[in-house]
């Protein structure tokens, strides 16, 4: 029998040839798949690209609206010769969208690109004016704000700006704004000794306020160095003490016998010695501060100039607080002179006592002179106090300010 049924199972069986595929059909399917993948890829790229498929310039002299440029001749800032400058608008969605671009080709073949803001159509972000800002950019701390100065016969004097900004606000040392325990330390007498002034600026933490004596030397230079180091600055004004003339406060002191006009002239001559200070404090002055007729013109003048007044607290008869309130002068009183005994250990004990006052009342102000012992003790104690949670602040942060009522 010639059929598979007569052959032994699985032996001598002929394999049936596989049907031949249509190669042309396979090739057609592959080509369609490639084309489909390309179209899908292009569609995805167009969807996620920030610019999408953008029309390019199609004819000579014509460009797409977003990339149109104009060329002009501008002088080269280095050589003075003209160079090609092209100005245009960057594509929307790019990193510099909204800027005007100028590209300058210099003589050495390099291209300098300048970006300047364009006039907005009103749909951009809003700018909010928050008013006067307390404190000064540290990079500009040694330079005065000319808007807060006025020229006088005695020199340049501080004045409240046209926008209401006060020198006290402009030159204040910023602080955290926290409600914790705060202490202001004021070290005075700077400018009288060159080595002592240099040591105080170098060794004292920047949180300590420095007070310059109006009778000192090279005051503007020392003030600038103090401001660059981060210190808030006061100016000490000599005033008549109870035991004058046995105890002479120095040149240009304010005295009862001078009368209001001469005292104001002396005040202005002292105030013109430096700039960039938040306020003034008395040097001596027990008798002057206790006389309302002598003190009133001074407080009235300080009120319009936007500077604070710090009373060193040594005279129980002082009327500075009462008159400062009457003329809206920011003012404060020192709670303690910490170096009445010139010994490092004694000063450290006084500073500990000042800390107890601050913890009880929330704030405290201590004053000292720029003696070596005082500077060393304050520098040591200030670092330790900050570790105990005490914030050392500029004195302007602790005065009573009529604008904050």
Concatenated DSSP letters for 326-344? Answer: HTT--EEE-SEETTSS--H
104 shares its domain with 181: no
Collapsing DSSP to helix, strand or coil, 112 comes out as strand
257 shares its domain with 202: yes
Confirm whether 30 is domain-assigned.
no
C-alpha dihedral sign at 160, 161, 164, 170:
negative
227 shares its domain with 105: no
Cβ neighbours around 66 below 10 Å, total: 16
Q: How far is CA 284 from CA 121, 255, 320, 393, in A?
A: 61, 11, 13, 24
Confirm whether 111 is domain-assigned.
yes
**CATH assignment at residue 178:** 3.20.20.370
Confirm whether 4 is domain-assigned.
no
160 shares its domain with 79: no
326 shares its domain with 396: yes
Confirm whether 123 is domain-assigned.
no
Structurally, the chain folds into a number of domains equal to 2
Confirm whether 36 is domain-assigned.
no
Nearest in space to 147 (alpha carbons), one of 158, 132, 133, 134: 158
273 shares its domain with 380: yes
261 shares its domain with 337: yes
Return the pLDDT at 47.
53
Bridge-based pairing of strands 82-89 and 99-105 is antiparallel
102 shares its domain with 204: no
CA distance 305 to 341: 36
Cβ neighbours around 79 below 10 Å, total: 11
CA distance 279 to 158: 9
CB contact set of 219 (below 8 Å; sequence gap of 6+): 191, 212, 273, 274
Confirm whether 128 is domain-assigned.
no
Q: Can you give the C-alpha Rg of the chain in angstroms?
A: 39
Cβ atoms 113, 94 nearer than 8 A: no
CA distance 126 to 123: 8
Structure tokens at 198: 């240099």
Confirm whether 396 is domain-assigned.
yes
**Residue 105 burial (C-beta neighbours within 10 Å; 0-12, 13-18, 19+):** middle
The string of pLDDT tens digits covering residues 56-74 is 434 344 444 443 343 444 4
Return the pLDDT at 397.
97
Confirm whether 235 is domain-assigned.
yes
CA distance 203 to 377: 11
CA distance 283 to 379: 23
172 shares its domain with 277: yes
Return the pLDDT at 77.
38
Domain that holds residue 105: 68-117
Give pLDDT tens digits along the chain (405 positions): 444 444 444 444 454 454 454 555 544 555 556 566 656 565 555 555 544 444 443 434 444 444 334 344 444 433 334 444 444 444 444 444 455 677 777 777 777 776 666 655 545 444 444 444 567 787 889 999 999 999 999 999 999 999 999 999 999 999 999 989 999 999 999 999 999 999 999 999 999 999 999 999 999 999 999 999 999 999 999 999 999 999 999 999 999 999 999 999 999 999 999 999 999 999 999 999 999 999 999 999 999 999 999 999 999 999 999 999 999 999 999 999 999 999 999 999 999 999 999 999 999 999 999 999 999 999 999 999 999 999 999 999 999 999 886
SS3 content of the chain, % helix, strand, coil (to 5): 35, 20, 45
213 shares its domain with 262: yes
CA distance 190 to 208: 13
286 shares its domain with 255: yes
74 shares its domain with 154: no
- Helix ranges (DSSP H) in 72-228: 167-170, 194-203, 219-228
């Amino acid at each position: 029998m010639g059929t598979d049924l007569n052959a032994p199972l699985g032996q001598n069986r002929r394999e049936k040839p596989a049907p031949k595929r249509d190669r042309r059909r396979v090739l057609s399917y592959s080509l369609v798949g490639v084309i489909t993948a390309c179209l899908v890829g292009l569609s995805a790229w167009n969807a996620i690209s920030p610019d999408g498929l953008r029309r390019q310039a199609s004819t000579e002299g014509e460009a797409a609206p977003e990339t149109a440029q104009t060329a002009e001749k501008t002088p080269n800032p280095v050589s003075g010769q003209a160079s090609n400058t092209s100005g245009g608008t960057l594509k929307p969605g790019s990193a510099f969208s909204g800027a005007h671009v100028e590209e300058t080709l210099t003589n050495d073949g390099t291209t300098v690109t300048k970006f300047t803001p364009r006039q907005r159509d009103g749909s951009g972000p809003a700018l909010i004016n928050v008013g006067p800002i307390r404190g000064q950019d540290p990079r500009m701390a040694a330079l005065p704000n000319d808007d807060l100065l006025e020229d006088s016969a005695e020199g340049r004097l501080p004045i409240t700006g046209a926008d209401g900004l006060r020198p006290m606000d402009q030159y204040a040392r910023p602080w955290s704004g926290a409600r914790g325990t705060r202490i202001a330390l004021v070290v005075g007498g700077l400018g009288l000794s060159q080595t002592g002034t240099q040591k105080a600026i170098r060794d004292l933490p920047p949180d300590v306020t420095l007070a310059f004596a109006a009778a000192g030397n090279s005051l503007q230079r020392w003030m600038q160095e103090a401001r660059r180091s981060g210190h808030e600055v006061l100016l000490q004004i000599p005033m008549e003490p109870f035991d004058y003339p046995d105890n002479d406060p120095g040149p240009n002191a304010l005295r009862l016998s001078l009368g209001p006009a001469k005292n104001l002239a002396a005040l202005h001559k002292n105030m013109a010695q430096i700039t960039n200070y938040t306020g003034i404090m008395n040097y001596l002055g027990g008798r002057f501060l206790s006389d309302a007729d002598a003190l009133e013109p001074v407080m009235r003048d300080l009120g319009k100039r936007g500077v604070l007044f710090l009373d060193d607290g040594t005279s129980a008869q002082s009327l500075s607080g009462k008159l400062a309130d009457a003329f809206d002068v920011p003012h404060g009183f020192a709670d303690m002179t910490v170096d009445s005994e010139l010994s490092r250990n004694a000063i450290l004990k006084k500073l500990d006592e000042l800390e107890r006052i601050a913890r009880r009342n929330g704030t405290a102000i201590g004053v000292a002179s720029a003696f070596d012992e005082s500077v060393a003790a304050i520098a040591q104690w200030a670092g330790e106090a900050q570790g105990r949670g005490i914030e050392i602040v500029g004195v302007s942060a602790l005065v009573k300010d009529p604008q904050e009522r």
